[in-house]
Structure 1
Amino acid sequence: MTRVGLVTIARGRRAHWELQTAALERSLRRPDERILVTMGDPSLARAARDAGTTAVRETDGEEGLLPLARARNLGAQAALDRGVDVLVFLDVDCLPAPALVGAYEAAARAAATRDCLLSGPVTYLDPPPPGGYDLDRLAELDSPHPARPAPGPDEVQLGGSPDLFWSLSFALTADLWGRIGGFHEGYAGYGGEDTDFGWTARARGVPMAWIGGARAYHQHHPVEDPPRRHLDAILRNGALFHRRWGTWPMRGWLDAFVDEGIAVRTADGGYARREQDPGLPRRTPQT
């Protein structure tokens, strides 16, 4: 029997975690192990333990940066230590459709997709109505993000650019996790680690596959576009990606920072924070 472990990382978002828990209780196939890694949030860790989560790990970031890559690696290792064959990663904001876990498990066993990095369509939900989201009617809100492949619920789409990989919802076998080697822990804070993981998978011969049955619904929360409060982390992580792969990721955000005057293009074609003229008022990223 295939054992499936579901890994989530979080800081804050306790209400989102609790609604995800309620959605998982509606799953047609529940995970055998559920792992939560909290990042500097002991109250959420206690709540998860009280709710019976299989394993909870805690980690703190450096200089206030969330250790997203390290947290996912810790979660994966906790699941592997419990003998899982398939790893499913689900963002704390994501509500799984009832078929998500089972669809990922089936794809991880099928000959055409078992050696692939598996991703499912994600719908970004509008703000919840009074009373919150109705978990029994999420399928009526299905409208997957247009920037990613979105095969129908009974369809699979093979291939695709590693630039499209995102960690909101994905799965792979334990063997493939070992081949890829996890997330690069040099990334800290917001941005870059997902694309690096996708590129690493491609470099190690692991293609992508989009699993239409593994649908998820991203709970609404305010966002900033471009994410100005993450400027320094994006510049730092973008430079690391460039050193590793010879190109810059997150170009849309980086170019937007340049347009807004909070970053500049450098002589070597890269990006850097704009140095402030001491005679001018200091412009800082909005929070």
Structure 2
Amino acid sequence: MNALKNLLNGIERGSQWPSEVIIVYMNEDAYNLEHVYSFPIRSIILHTDKGINLGAARNLAMQESSTENNIFLDVDCIPEEHLIANYAKHMDEEDVLFSGQVRYLPAGYDRSKDWEDKLHQLSLPDPIRGDLQEYTYELFWSLNFGCSKKTFKQIGGFDSQYEGYGAEDTDFAFEARKHGVTLKTIPALSYHQHHATYKPPLNHLQTISTNAALFFSKWAVWPMEGWLSSFEQLGYLRRDAGNLQVLRLPTDSEIEAVRTS
């Protein structure tokens, strides 16, 4: 709830407001936001049989959108003041798949005085993409991106076969490349709100493994290579050529042992 409020407050503080905000709730009721914002908000509830489905949620958001050009932000992102204006400017100039940029906020960032005015000062660049001016298709991430309905349709939307956590955004980018859609990185910055992480993400081992196997069946390469290698080294799974076998699932105590904060 707080993450969503921070996201919406960030949009409110921006130099340009969107024509609408669509919030997709996955298998939960819409929140009572209480505050009245300067832009219309529509809430949509997506019910799925097998936990969260991020691809299906993004497809639904695009389907329900009343505008041609659209920005996607995960709920744990806070947009920088000019994020929407940056996207709008670039979308007016060309029709491609745009990737924004992300910086990470540390634990306790929101306990600082006037923290909303110091997001850049408080945050750190992404350790993998921080020095890159252009992201490759392999480094595309869906927590901050934008495109037109036309481009989204050309890509084919997200593959909703991916369920839970992992690989659906890389698959989307590979489909973009396959269909001749250019990927362009722009300085549309958002700040990722801190939450507990697991290194490696044993809490998502099952869905990561299932999604990785699906991805390999489509593209003949492994996604999330670092995580899969860590799972192998720890004895949770085994890969043999194009086959992936989960040997055992981690216990609750093993998952808690790799929690970083």
Query: Could you say whether these structures have the same fold, taking a TM-score greater than 0.5 normalized by the shorter chain as the test?
Result: yes
Residue 58 of structure 2 is aligned to residue 72 of structure 1: yes
Number of matched pairs: 252
Q: Which residue of 2 aligns with 1:243?
A: 217
> In the alignment, is residue 96 of structure 1 matched against residue 65 of structure 2?
no
Distance 2:108 2:251 in 1: 35
C-alpha deviations, 1:34-73, integer Å up to 9, x for none?
A: 000001121xx1425975653211112323x211110111
Separation in 2 of the partners of 1:203 and 1:246? 14
1:257·1:263 contact (CA, 8 Å) conserved in 2?
A: yes
Equivalent residue, structure 2, for 1:126: 106
2:44 counterpart SS class:
strand
Q: How does 1:11-160 map to 2 (within 5 A)?
A: 14-42=1-29, 45-48=30-33, 51=36, 53-63=40-50, 65-79=51-65, 82=66, 84-110=67-93, 114-129=94-109, 130=111, 134-148=115-129, 157=133, 160=135
How much has 1:227 moved relative to structure 2?
0.9
Aligned residue in 1 for 2:243: 270
For normalisation by structure 1, the TM-score amounts to 0.81
For residues 147-179 of structure 1, the C-alpha deviation after alignment (integer angstroms, 9 at most, x for no partner) is: 12657xxxxx55x42111001100112211111
The amino acid across from 2:119 in the alignment is L
Distance 1:37 1:132, change over 3 A: farther
Superposed CA RMSD: 2.2
Which residue identity does 1:254 align to in structure 2? L
Q: Percent identity?
A: 35
**Contact in 1 for aligned 2:97/2:146 (Cα 8 Å):** yes
Long gaps (5+) in structure 2: 257-261
Structure 2 CA distance for aligned equivalents of residues 259 and 190 of structure 1:
21
Q: 1:177 aligns with which of 152, 155, 173?
A: 152
CA contact (8 A) 1:121 1:150 kept: no
Runs of 4+ in 1 over 3 A off after TM superposition: 48-53, 282-285
